Amino acid sequence: MSDIQTWALVFVALSFAVYIYIAWRSRVRETKGFFVAEQNIPAVANGAAVAADWMSAASFISMAGLIAFLGSDGSVYLMGWTGGYVLLALLLAPYLRKWGKFTVPEFVGDRYSETVRSVAALVAIIVSFTYVVGQMAGGGIVFSRFLQVPQAGGVAIAAVVIFAYAVFGGMKGITWTQVAQYTVLIVAYLIPAWAVAQTMTGIAVPQVSFGQILAELDAIGQEFGMAVFTEAFTARPQIDVFLVTMSLMIGTAGLPHVIIRFYTTKTVRGARYSALWALIFIGLLYTTAPAVGAFTKLNMLQGVQGVSTSALPSWVANWQATGLVSVAEGTETIGTITNSADDFAAGQADMFLNNDILVLASPEIAGLPAPIVGLVAAGGLAAAMSTAAGLLLVISSSASHDLYFRYVDHHASERRRLLVSRIAMGLAVLVSIYFGINPPAFVAQVVAFAFGLAASTFFPMLLLGIFWKRANAIGAVSGMIAGLALTGTYMIYTLEVFGTQAHEHIAGVSPEGVGAIGALVNLIVTIVVSKATRPPSEHVQEMVERIRYPAARQVARSATRAAE
């Protein structure tokens, strides 16, 4: 066993032991503890848990790789994912926490109707399944490289550990486990970034120093047949950059597994402060990612430039074993590099590099010590597992609390509801293992698809449900179905999923960006149908006012109406 494998095994084993211990100490026997952690989580801790829940394998493993190959167009992920938290903090989180329910579909049921609640529960399951696939795929990549486990086996191991700590403590166990996971992932991300920045520029602050190497990166990238790193709209049309950014922003604000985290705070004020702390914690990684992408790409290109294939750096052979790096047969020296498997298969490049390896391979490419490489492996797993646990909880709560309890056994005991939740979580794990082994795209792209589905379904419904009293059940369900149908159909049309053939993008719109169009369609359909049908009851409209306005203003408004 190599030094890298040994250190990776040590860090992974220690972190897994901590996660299981925390979950065991936090185990619950009541639904309130399982679903919303007894609504007793401090704002700072909840902010760290939100950050861990949010910064998935896409953020840790894939985002810097996408930025490295997309260049400035990769900023869509930075702008979309962070901007979405501003929307969530200002427009949704405090009001949903004030409503005081367990799940997003439960709010939808109170605001609109039980029919809309059922549709929302099913959509939450679809979105969460799509998202969890990316996490399982990310976990498999880490295991396959650093522990020499086949990717399928790595996905299964990650899934079993996630299931173990999620099923013990539900939201309470997941929350405190995610605090630990955030600590692991942020340390694992920052230490190599600081070390590489110091080595390459003499300034150990990557956010400041990576600008020094951009001119050199542009020049060497062009020698390898790549687009200019700093030039805009080389990888995506301008309209798609806008649509992907919007889709990720409103998708963020509509993701059930993120929103549910704000139900765990003690107060509405705590929900607001949780969002603030989460932005701070997320910013530590997101402001570092562009630097990691730039430094690693430059190191990688310099390491293979003019080198014969018989003398390539050791990291190339290490990653070739996983199938995520390939060198074309008959190639003597590397002259062109691509991140497109199709282009490589067509003979248009000498080397293929999967986007998802760049962060994990960064310490090896930079020649950092084996302990740091092992730490990065533990960080990648922490990122994948923290988000997957939150997603599995959404699936189990939707199945148990919003479907089983409402339609199968309305008098089910606490024990039976917890049992159904755990069974649903187990089934979700089995399905996600299959799709994690056979993902339809790169990790960050799979996650972007989930954001598109959330953007086109949940965000318009929640936004109008809070800020427009006239929105009704018929309008909401019509809008959701229209948004989901458009977004889902376009994704299937443009991707090779379920045995379908991929087609060209229409008007330059990628499947990651169609969610913004789906959201607009949802919004229009909801408004038109709501205006054409009966308004909600007075009781529902009063509930909407109660969550929107402070108590003093509610009294004043009531007095005004009484005087009229």
- DSSP string over 61-121: IIHHHHHHHHGGGGHHHHHHHHHHHHHIIIIIHHHHHHHT-SSHHHHHHHHT-HHHHHHHH
What sign has the CA pseudo-torsion 174, 175, 180, 185?
Answer: positive
**411 SS3 class:** coil
CATH number of the domain within which 429 lies: 1.20.1730.10
Displacement of CA 464 from its chain's centroid (Å): 24
At a CB cut-off of 8 Å and minimum separation 6, what does 445 contact? 512
**Contact between residue 551 and residue 282 where contact means Cβ atoms under 8 Å apart:** no
562 within some domain = no
502 part of a folded domain? yes
Q: Are residues 228 and 315 in the same domain?
A: no
Statement to judge: residues 286 and 340 lie in one domain: no
* Domain closes at, from 363, 381, 402: 363
Do 220 and 332 reside in the same domain of the chain?
no
Residue 402 located in a structural domain: yes
Could you read off the pLDDT of 404-425 as tens digits, one per residue? Answer: 877 788 777 777 877 887 788 8
Q: Which amino acid is at 101?
A: K
Q: Could you give the C-alpha distances from 520 to 183, 242, 514, 526, in angstroms and in order?
A: 38, 14, 10, 10
Please, what sign has the CA dihedral across residues 62, 65, 70, 73?
positive
Query: Which of 454, 526, 514, 449 has its CA nearest to residue 487?
Result: 514
DSSP symbols for 367-392:
T--HHHHHHHHHHHHHHHHHHHHHHH
pLDDT of residue 513: 93
Q: Is residue 445 part of a domain?
A: yes
Cα dihedral 277, 188, 257, 134, rounded to 10, equals 150
Encode pLDDT of 2-25 as tens digits. 788 898 889 988 988 888 888 777
Q: How much is the pLDDT for 555?
A: 47
What does residue 406 show for φ and ψ, rounded to 5 degrees?
-85, -35
Same domain, 288 and 390: yes
- The answer to whether residues 349 and 495 belong to one domain is no
Model pTM above 0.75: yes
Tokens 């889902």 -> residue = 488
DSSP tag of 227: P
Do 454 and 313 have their domain in common? no
Rounded to whole angstroms, the Cα distance separating 486 from 521 reads 8
Give the count of domains, the chain.
2
Same domain, 355 and 382: no
Asked if residue 564 is part of any domain, the answer here is: no
Q: What is the pLDDT of residue 267?
A: 79
Angle, vertex CA 507, rays to CA 67 and CA 456, nearest 5:
70
341 and 457: one domain?
A: no
Q: What is the pLDDT of residue 234?
A: 87
Q: Which domain holds residue 358?
A: 307-363
For residue 151, what are its two tokens? 């990717």
What kind and span of H or E run contains 337?
strand 337-338
Q: Are residues 467 and 502 in the same domain?
A: yes
Position 563 in a domain: no
DSSP state of 212: G
Report whether 182 contacts 385 (CB < 8 A).
no
Q: Is 215 exposed, middle or buried (0-12, 13-18, 19+ CB in 10 A)?
A: exposed
Instruction: Kindly state the DSSP code that residue 308 receives in the 8-state scheme.
Output: B
Beta pairing, strands 351-353 & 325-327: antiparallel
| Closest by CA position to 322, among listed 142, 159, 64, 444 | 142
In this predicted structure, what is the pLDDT of residue 34? 57
What would the DSSP string read from start to end of 262-293?
Answer: GGGBSSHHHHHHHHHHHHHHHHHHHTTHHHHH
| 547 found inside a domain | no
Distances (CA, A) of 503 to 8, 70, 495: 41, 21, 7
Per-residue model confidence (pLDDT) at position 170: 63
The answer on 329 and 234 residing in a single domain is: no
Residue 550 in any domain: the answer is: no
**Do 262 and 190 share a structural domain?**
yes
Burial class (CB in 10 A: 0-12, 13-18, 19+), 564: exposed
pLDDT in tens, the chain (564 residues): 578 889 888 998 898 888 888 877 776 656 555 555 556 788 888 888 888 877 877 788 888 988 998 898 988 988 898 888 888 888 887 888 777 666 778 888 889 998 888 888 888 888 888 778 777 777 777 877 777 777 788 788 878 877 776 666 566 777 888 888 899 999 999 999 999 999 999 999 999 999 999 999 999 998 888 889 999 998 889 999 999 999 999 998 888 777 777 777 777 778 778 888 888 999 999 999 999 999 999 999 999 988 888 899 989 988 888 888 999 988 899 989 998 888 898 888 999 998 888 898 999 999 999 999 889 989 988 887 777 777 777 787 778 777 887 778 877 777 787 788 778 888 888 888 887 777 655 555 667 778 888 899 999 999 999 999 999 999 999 999 999 999 999 988 887 765 667 789 999 999 989 999 999 999 999 999 999 999 999 989 988 888 887 654 554 455 455 555
* Residue where one domain finishes, among candidates 343, 363, 383: 363
User: Are residues 260 and 201 both part of a single domain?
Assistant: yes
